[in-house]
Chains A and B, each alone.
Chain A
Amino acid sequence: MRVYWAAAWLLFFLSPASAAIDAVNVYEPRNFGYFIGDTLERDIEVVTSGKTELFTAALPRPGSLTYWLDLVSISHTERDEGGRRHYDLKLKYQIFYSAIEATELDIPAFPLKFKNPASVALDGTSPNDASDAAAKRSASIPAFRIIVAPLRDLVLVDLMPEKTKELSEVLRPDVPAREIPIAGKKQQLALAAVVLSTATLLLLWHYSVWPFRKRAGRPFTRADRQIRDLLAHGAGDPSYREALLVLHRAFDEAAGQRIFSNDAIAFAEAHPVYRGFSPRLKAFFESSRLYFFSDDRSAAERLFPVEKLRTLASDLAREERARA
């Protein structure tokens, strides 16, 4: 018989139950000095091993627990550590007890539920100490006793029929509405206005319009605008002549000297931005020479019609803007 018991003990210590609730550690806050409306947080750590798992769906829901106590929130996190599962529960309560004198109150206990709480060890032995086994099968979060103190000197006489004080004198005052501060919004508006006007000015400058109309170094932009104005009045012979002259002046200004037909290629070489325009520049100067230095004006217009002249001017203006 003694041998049998010894064997049983040995087996028990060699192979402890494979699944168990190992610990429920409760980290309580202070248990005194609470007023109505106060909140307190309890941290609870549940450690399980093996197949045992805390049944988190069965944890209490936030809400009213008793007439004087609310469970504000409950959160849980899980982590595995050294083959054991740790559950960290955080319970937040709020007290609504109106104490007349310092009173002890119990935050109620509640049982924890587990999956596979009492698994049998692999070799078929079960713990033979009954209380030990019970401890490993179930657990609960214990009650917690706190002391709630009164908030004010309670004078019930104040509210009796022969009272000397009105209830409105006892109550704390209402929260008044206040005007919304607008200084920040005004600053933001001013800043936005600065950004918007800066961007507008930069755009005007980029397109050389109104305040920047006479912007230096933009001969083609001005020529383009003049030619468009000219052609808006009609595409007759005088306006063609005028347009040719305008574009000639623009070339002169861009190069800093008079440009003639022979200089066209040199001009394109000297200003890489306009290099792509070489053939059209040549055609322009050719037709201009025909127009001004021969009597065959219609041939010049055929060679380089007014539409082409306008597109050349606007293309040159665009390149000029892109370069600057």
Chain B
Amino acid sequence: MSPKRIASIVGSQRRRMLWCLAAAGAIWFGYAATSLLRTEWANHNIRALLARRDVPIEVHRAEPQEILARINESVRRDKIDEAQAILSSAEAGLSPAVRAAALYNIANARTLLAGETVRKGDLDTAAALINLAKSEYRLSLQLDPSNWDTRYNIDVAMRVVRDLPQADNPETISPDAPKKLWTDLPGVPKGLP
């Protein structure tokens, strides 16, 4: 195709091409403007949350970092359940790194809480909290295996409450398990006096 021919085609289709260019430009401009505005709004929220103000966010439309900021603020205010709920409802749209970070922060809060509980002497609650924290750290490590802080903290969490491996040697079944079945039943013969 000679340059002349191309020029003639361009000349004859100029009106259409110009309209197409204008439409594409308008769509692009609209997209870029919306995206910028949304990011600005998200940053506004993030700044407010970093300044420790309890700003609500729309979880389903929020940016990942905005959600992370919101979770951190909830955790800071000792509302771990709220943070957990935000994370679960936003999880689908988050990148693995952000999910890992959110899980890590929640697990840290639980570990600290477990430490407090240990000091009060409530070891059962502490063990439950540590188990939750451990599974969260574990999930976080699965999502982001290279994070050394997570490794360090799961190691710390595992030492807060004494944790004995149960499933390590499956051949030694607990010997008093069958006996326990009968302890609550009345009228079990106890043998001759």
Using CB atoms and an 8 Å cutoff, list the residues of chain A in contact with chain B.
35-39, 66-68, 70, 72, 94, 96, 98, 150-152, 154, 156, 159, 161, 166-168, 170-180, 182, 185-186, 188-189, 191-193, 195-200, 202-203, 206, 321-323
Contact = CB atoms under 8 A, between A and B. Distances in A.
Interface in B24-67: 24-26, 28-29, 31-33, 35-36, 39-40, 42-43, 46-47, 49-50, 63, 65-66
A291 to B, nearest CB: 34
B53 to A, nearest CB: 13
Given A161-B119, A177-B72, A182-B36, A195 B43 contact: no
Given A188-B32, A200-B22, A159 B42 contact: no
A167 B115 contact: yes
A198 B158 CA distance: 63
Contact of A192 (B15, B32, B142): B32
Nearest to A195: B25
Interface stretch (B88-96, B163-171, B173-181, B183-191): B163-171
A98 B159 contact: yes
Contacts of B11: 322-323
B168 A96 contact: no
Contacts of B156: 152, 167, 170-171
A203 B151 contact: no
A266 B112 CA distance: 97
B79 interface: no
Contacts of A167: 111-112, 115, 156, 160
Nearest to B115: A167
Nearest to B43: A179
A315 to B, nearest CB: 15
Contacts of A151: 151-152, 155
Interface residues of B, number: 63
Contacts of A174: 72, 75, 104-105, 108
B154 interface: yes
Contacts of A70: 138, 142
Q: Which of A159, A166, A321 has the most CB of B within 10 A?
A: A159
B167 A67 contact: yes
B74 to A, nearest CB: 12
A94 B141 contact: yes
| 4 closest residue pairs by CB, A with B | A177-B69, A196-B25, A167-B115, A199-B22
A171 B14 contact: no
B56 to A, nearest CB: 16
Given A98-B158, A174-B72, A193-B29, 17 more contacts: A35-B151, A37-B154, A68-B165, A70-B138, A94-B142, A151-B151, A151-B155, A159-B115, A159-B159, A159-B160, A171-B108, A171-B156, A172-B152, A185-B39, A186-B36, A189-B29, A322-B15
B145 A175 contact: no
Interface in B139-159: 141-142, 145, 147-156, 158-159
A177 B50 contact: yes
B43 A67 contact: no
